[in-house]
Chains A and B, each alone.
Chain A
Amino acid sequence: MNTLKKLKSIDAIYWFVAVFFIAALIFVPGFANLAALERLLSQGCVLIILACGVHLTVLNGGVDFTSTALLALTTVVGGSIMSTKGPLGGSAGALFLGLLVMVLLGLGFGIINGFSITTFKMPSFIVTMATQMIVNGLAVVYTGGASVTGMPSAFAKFGKGSIFIFPYLLIVAIGVAVVMHVITTKTLFGRQLYAVGTNHKAALISGVSPRKTIFKAYVLSGICAGIAGIVMLAYMQSGSVNYGATMFNDIMGSIIVGGTSPAGGRGKIANTVMGALLINMIDSVLNILGIPYYFITLIKGLIILVAASIDLIRMERKAAR
């Protein structure tokens, strides 16, 4: 009885992931080999990091579209700084400068988003869509559309290496997820975030400044996008303006499938990570099965709709009880 209760209290997303994983192992030939699984995990890293960042903004009832464009911008800018073909010739200093600039770019646009949203009270989805376009445009202006190659060997090692069977990139992603988990559950800022997301006015009157809290969420989301850029660059060993172009659905899908309410105030980082894994598995299974990409787009759109519907209907039932 007690175990049953415990099983019931596990969030639905874990069941989805487990069932889908087992089903894929059994029914999808080519899914169950180590190389494929490792690739799956490495590909998932970028999504996990981006989703964790955006998760914070969704918690306070907003959203951050900019992160996908930042992924592209940071890889081309950071890549061109690090590149052996660049003015710094791929030195160790260039590597560090590149990494720093990537994170700072994320931070900078996070500040712009946060400022516009808190100062002018602009709806976050429009602001971040606008900055997404601007960032994308800037990335193209910067490269002229060409991709950036010639990463230094140290960075290549970081991208391809692993401890035992755990790729470095996965470790970074898990690190980011753990930090975000701790931030949301154990810290002052986390509590403020949930409070503001639940009731903006009550938070303000209780001395929790919604402006500062929301601002910080967008800044953190920007930084996450910068880190995701680093991981992407390390994984692909080249920077391109096309990265992330179709990723926003995956990010939103991960967050919503993980049971986070788009209205704010409710949702767990761990579930978002599971959501990202699920989305990634669906992606690779569909790819293995040879489904054309436009169907994959379509299916992901449906996933968002269905997941959001299920969540809202469940909440309504709970409220009725």
Chain B
Amino acid sequence: MEKVTARAGKAAEGKRAKELFMDYGIYVILAAMIVFFTVQKPNFLTISNILLILRTSSVLGIACVGMFFVLIVAGIDISVSMNMYISAVVGGTLLNNMGMPLIVCFIASCLCGLVIGAINGFFVTKVKIVPFIVTLATYSVARGMALFLTNQQMMFLDNKVMGLASAKFLGISAFVFIFLAVVIIAHIVLTCTQFGRQLYACGNNLQGANKMGINGPRTVWFAYMICGTLCGIAGMLSACNLGVINPNFSQGDEFVVISSSIIGGASLFGGKGRVFPGAIIGIVMVQAIINGLTMIGASAYVYTIFRGVIIFLAVMVDSIKFSGEIR
């Protein structure tokens, strides 16, 4: 009798260990990498580098918050990077060619992002095409449009943007505060409003949501629109940060955004994740490692492979967790 319970105890222990690994394993690996970089390059963990990491995280972090909305309703948006590109181009054009004030350019970027998000949402909810196909198509369309608008040229932004790019408060870049503001607002929307809770409901069981009288399609559509709008902001901020918009602007960033969101606790299967602190943890970890890889002089292709591996691992953990879940 005792033996049996002992074995059962061990089995439970093993199970708990597995669960622990599933919950925290990826953080341990990432933390280990950060320790590795610190040992390799002592100036990795300096205040100035940390501030730099936070600043670069802030730009994509905003897109990450957008991705959270889409992931919560069990969708996916691959077009985020090209959405950032075209929004930045629209904002940049207004800034350069028409001399509009920066705030107007930001509003224009937001609107551009909103339109693309609305198109994504339309095809996902009204025509009911699989999200990854829709957003893959809008990825191409947005990229084509942006290249057309820039005539495939680099676009140098007016010096006005330097003001924002170098603005600091308490020694911390203004970007970080913009990111934090977005996170806080998103967190409040998601946890303290009916709309936010309905987003989670739709991600958990869309059919059930419709039956309950939630306007499921509209809610999901809104999620895509929010994601698009935030990508618009992220795109313009990124352009301000770099001062220039290249033809390969933000290419591949969709993977950074998706993997950061999943590491931050969102799930590809919907209904899960907290923007605060998830989005912050996810994006800062991923950016810290990208930063570390650059510091130890890893070449661009190592970075590509790394992106592939990290998204693979994040999704693997997410999938294993999900298959053990009962809905």
- Is B123's CB under 8 angstroms from A309's CB? yes
Residues of chain A from 284 to 310 with CB closer than 8 A to chain B in the complex = 292, 294-302, 304-305, 308-309
- Is A134's CB under 8 angstroms from B133's CB? no
> Which label, helix, strand, loop or mixed, suits the secondary structure of the A interface?
helix
In the docked arrangement, what's the CA distance between A125 and B139, Å?
15
Q: Given A121-B319, A122-B319, A126-B315, do A297 and B140 touch, yes or no (CB 8 Å)?
A: yes
In the docked arrangement, what's the CA distance between A248 and B133, Å?
11
> Is B301 close to A, CB under 8 A?
yes
Stretch at the interface among A48-56, A135-143, A158-166: A135-143
> Is A256 close to B, CB under 8 A?
yes
- Is B144's CB under 8 angstroms from A301's CB? yes
Q: Given A256-B133, A309-B123, do A298 and B140 touch, yes or no (CB 8 Å)?
A: yes
* Minimum C-beta distance from A200 to chain B (A): 13
- Is A120's CB under 8 angstroms from B152's CB? no
Q: Given A122-B319, A300-B140, do A134 and B308 touch, yes or no (CB 8 Å)?
A: yes
* Minimum C-beta distance from A105 to chain B (A): 16
> Is A37 close to B, CB under 8 A?
no
> Is A263 close to B, CB under 8 A?
yes
Chain A, Cβ-Cβ closest to B262: A126
* Minimum C-beta distance from A138 to chain B (A): 7
In the docked arrangement, what's the CA distance between A256 and B137, Å?
12
- Is A304's CB under 8 angstroms from B308's CB? no
- B-side contacts of A92, CB under 8 Å: none
Checking A127, A133, A301 against B137 with a beta-carbon cut-off of 8 angstroms, the contacting residue is A301
- Is B133's CB under 8 angstroms from A122's CB? no
- Is B319's CB under 8 angstroms from A120's CB? yes
Please report the total number of B residues contacting A with Cβ < 8 Å.
Answer: 40
- Is B304's CB under 8 angstroms from A297's CB? no
- Is B301's CB under 8 angstroms from A140's CB? yes
> Is A104 close to B, CB under 8 A?
no
- Is B140's CB under 8 angstroms from A309's CB? no
In the docked arrangement, what's the CA distance between A134 and B306, Å?
8
> Is B1 close to A, CB under 8 A?
no
> Is A123 close to B, CB under 8 A?
yes
In the docked arrangement, what's the CA distance between A313 and B319, Å?
31
- Is B315's CB under 8 angstroms from A302's CB? no
Stretch at the interface among B124-132, B175-183, B194-202, B231-239: B124-132
- Is B305's CB under 8 angstroms from A301's CB? no
- Is A313's CB under 8 angstroms from B127's CB? yes
In the docked arrangement, what's the CA distance between A309 and B123, Å?
8
> Is A226 close to B, CB under 8 A?
no
- Is B140's CB under 8 angstroms from A249's CB? yes
* Minimum C-beta distance from A228 to chain B (A): 20
- Is B315's CB under 8 angstroms from A130's CB? yes
- Is A120's CB under 8 angstroms from B320's CB? yes
In the docked arrangement, what's the CA distance between A123 and B71, Å?
13
> Is B184 close to A, CB under 8 A?
no
In the docked arrangement, what's the CA distance between A141 and B138, Å?
31
- Is A123's CB under 8 angstroms from B308's CB? no
- Is A312's CB under 8 angstroms from B129's CB? yes
In the docked arrangement, what's the CA distance between A249 and B123, Å?
17
- Is B304's CB under 8 angstroms from A298's CB? no
> Is B188 close to A, CB under 8 A?
no
- Is A298's CB under 8 angstroms from B145's CB? yes
Q: Mark B298-326, 1 if CB is under 8 A from A, else 0.
A: 00111011011101100110011011000
- Is A301's CB under 8 angstroms from B255's CB? no
* Minimum C-beta distance from B122 to chain A (A): 10
Residues of chain B from 123 to 178 with CB closer than 8 A to chain A in the complex = 123, 127-130, 132-134, 136-141, 143-145, 147-148, 152
Which 10 residue pairs spanning A and B have beta carbons closest together? A298-B144, A301-B140, A133-B308, A137-B305, A294-B147, A134-B308, A140-B301, A130-B312, A301-B141, A137-B304
* 13 pairs, CB–CB < 8 Å, chain A vs chain B: A116-B312, A120-B316, A126-B312, A127-B312, A137-B305, A137-B308, A140-B301, A140-B304, A249-B137, A252-B136, A297-B144, A302-B141, A308-B137
Q: Which residues of A contact B (CB under 8 A)?
A: 63, 116, 120-123, 125-127, 129-134, 136-138, 140-141, 248-249, 252, 256, 262-263, 292, 294-302, 304-305, 308-309, 312-313
Extra contacts, 10 of them, besides A129-B311, A297-B140 (Cβ < 8 A), are A121-B319, A127-B315, A130-B312, A131-B312, A134-B308, A137-B308, A294-B147, A296-B144, A301-B136, A309-B127
